[in-house]
Amino acid sequence: MGKNEKKSGGWRTNKWVRAAIPALLLHCSIGTVYCWSIFSDEIGKYIGHTKGATEWAFSFAIFFLGMSAAFLGNVVEKDIHKSSLIATICFAAGMAGTGFFIWYGGQNKGSMLALIGIYLCYGLIMGIGLGTGYLSPVKTLMLWFNDKKGLATGLAVAGFGAAKAIASPIMEAMLDNLGDGGIYKMFIILAGVYFVMMFVGHLLLKKPEGWHEPQTKEASNSIMSVIKSKPILNYVGIWLMFYINITCGLALISQEKMIVKCIGLAGSVGIISTVSAIFNAGGRLGFSAWADKMKDRNTIYKMIFIISIVLTGAVIFTGGIANGAGNVLLVVLVLALIFMVNAGYGGGFSNVPTLLSDHYGMSNISAIHGITLSAWAFAGLTGNQLATWIVNHFGEFIDMDKWVKSGEKVVVDTANLLEGQVAINPTGYQTVLYVTIVLYIVSLILSLVFVRPTKTAKN
C-alpha cells in the first residue's frame, strides 16, 4: 500500500483525502445527534408534549444506531460505498422528517402522530444512518493507517465527539435568529447541509489501491466462529466493559448541566458543556494514539477505569456535588470528574475497533465491530434512564438559587415550578455516583480477568 501510494501520488491515493477527510465529514455530521439536549425542551414546548416524552427520541436514536451497526456490519464489510450512501440518505432524510413532524406538531398541539413521527425519523431512520455512518470509515482508516490504527480511528471518532462542540453554538444561533418556528426550520436547513457534507465524504471514501479481502478460512467464517476462535469470555468481557463504560458515561453526562448548576456555576453551563465536549473528542484521539504505543491495547481501558474510579470516589468521599457551591477545591474536583469521564467515555469508543482487530484480526472487523456496538444500543436505553430514575427517587428537589446562595434547602414541586425557578437534587446526583463507581469497579475486574493479553491477530 505504501509503495503504491508513493508511485502513484496525487489525491486519488492520498490517505488523508481517501480516508481521514471523508471520515471526518461523515462523523462530524452524524455526531450532532449528541446536540439533542440543546433543542429537546424547545421541541417539547413547540409540539405540546412533555420533555420526558420527547427524550425517548434520543434514546431510540442511540438504540437503533447500535442495532443497525450490529445487523448491517456485513454490508459495511462488503461495500463501504453502499453503506456510506445508506448513511447519507437515512441521516439527512431522518433529520428532514423530524423537522416536518415538529412543524406538524406545532400546527396540532399535543398530536400523538407528531410525537410518533419524531420517534420514527429521529430515532429509527436517523439511527440507521448513524450506525452505518459510524462504521463505514473505520476499517478504511485502519487499512490506510496500518501502522497507527489507533490514531486513525481516534481521528474519525474524535470527529463524532467534536461535532457537539462545533454544532452547538451554530444551532443555538439558528434557534435565536430563525424566528417563529425556528426549531423545525433548523432541522430542515441542517438536513441539507449534512447531506452535502456526507455525500462528499461518501464520494471520497475509498480503500487503498490493491487491497483485497484475504481469501482465508477465517475470512469466510461466520462472526460467531471468529468470536469463538478465542475463549468466549474474552469477547463477553470486551462487550460488557464497553457497555458499562457507556452506561456510566451517559449517566453522568445526562446530569452534567444540573450538576454544574448545583456547584454554583449556572452562568457557565454553556462553556463547561463545550469544554466537556472537547475532552470527549480529545479522549477519543488521545487515548487511542497512546494505545498504539502499548503492547496490550486493553491497558488503556484499565487506565480509563482506574481514573474514573479514583475521581468518582473522591467526589463521593468529599460530597463534592452537595458541598461544592462556594468551595473552589470541590468545584475543581467535580469538574475534573466531569471532564475525565467525558474523556474516558470517548476513549472507550475509539479503542474498540483496534482492540477487536488485535484479538480477532482485520478480516471481519466491520462486522464484529458492528455487533459490539449493540452494547451502545442497550447503554443508550439504560444510561440516561438509570440516572433519571435515581435522581427522581433519592433525595429531594430544592430551589437552586436559595441553595447556592445560602445552603438553604427549600423543597420545590418540579411539576409546578415558578417562572425562572430551577430545581436541583444534590443528594440524587451524589447517589448516581455510588452506582457508577460500582460499575466502574466491575469493568476494571472484567478487563483484568476476562480480556487477556494477546499477540496481535493476523488476517
- Under the banding of pLDDT at 50, 70 and 90, the label for residue 459 is very low
- The proportion of the chain whose per-residue pLDDT surpasses 90, expressed as a percent, equals 57
Mean pLDDT calculated for residue range 213-225: 59
The whole-angstrom separation of Cα 230 and Cα 248 is: 28
pLDDT at 368 over 70: yes
pLDDT, greater one: 147 or 29: 29
Q: Which range scores top for mean pLDDT: 11-15, 78-82, 86-90?
A: 86-90
Model pLDDT for residues 4-63, shown as the tens digit of each residue: 444 445 667 788 899 999 999 999 999 999 888 788 889 998 999 987 789 889 989 999
pLDDT, greater one: 55 or 118: 118
Q: What cell numbers appear for 203 in the block?
A: 464520494
- Under the banding of pLDDT at 50, 70 and 90, the label for residue 396 is very high
Model pLDDT for residues 246-297, shown as the tens digit of each residue: 999 999 988 998 999 999 998 888 889 889 888 998 999 999 989 988 889 9
Mean pLDDT calculated for residue range 216-243: 81
Mean pLDDT calculated for residue range 186-207: 96
The whole-angstrom separation of Cα 4 and Cα 1 is: 5
**DSSP code at position 11:** G
The correct CATH number of 216-459 out of 3.40.50.970, 1.20.120.10, 1.20.1250.20, 3.50.50.60 is 1.20.1250.20
pLDDT, greater one: 157 or 119: 119
Count of C-beta atoms within a 10 Å radius of residue 52 = 10
Single pTM value for the model: 0.84
Q: What is the pLDDT of residue 388?
A: 87
pLDDT at 457 over 70: no
Q: What is the pLDDT of residue 432?
A: 96
- Whole-angstrom CA distances from 138 to 77, 144, 224, 406 are 10, 10, 21, 51
- Under the banding of pLDDT at 50, 70 and 90, the label for residue 79 is confident
Q: What is the pLDDT of residue 9?
A: 53
Q: CATH 1.20.1250.20 region(s) of the chain?
A: 14-205, 216-459
Amino acid at 110: G
Looking at domain 14-205, which CATH architecture does it have?
Up-down Bundle (1.20)
Q: What is the pLDDT of residue 209?
A: 79
pLDDT, greater one: 64 or 10: 64
- Under the banding of pLDDT at 50, 70 and 90, the label for residue 214 is low
- Under the banding of pLDDT at 50, 70 and 90, the label for residue 456 is low
pLDDT at 216 over 70: no
Q: What cell numbers appear for 112 in the block?
A: 400523538
Tell me the CA end-to-end span of the chain in Å, nearest whole number.
Answer: 16
- Which single residue is written with the C-alpha cell 444510561? 383
Q: What is the pLDDT of residue 458?
A: 46
- Under the banding of pLDDT at 50, 70 and 90, the label for residue 355 is very high
pLDDT at 71 over 90: no
SS3 track for 132-192: HHHHHHHHHHHHHCHHHHHHHHHHHHHHHHHHHHHHHHHHHHHHHHCCCCHHHHHHHHHHH
- What 177-184 contacts at long range (C-beta under 8 Å, 24+ apart), as own/partner pairs, is 181/46, 181/103, 181/106, 183/39, 183/42, 183/43, 183/46, 183/102, 184/46, 184/99, 184/100, 184/102, 184/103, 184/106
Model pLDDT for residues 415-427, shown as the tens digit of each residue: 777 877 888 999 9
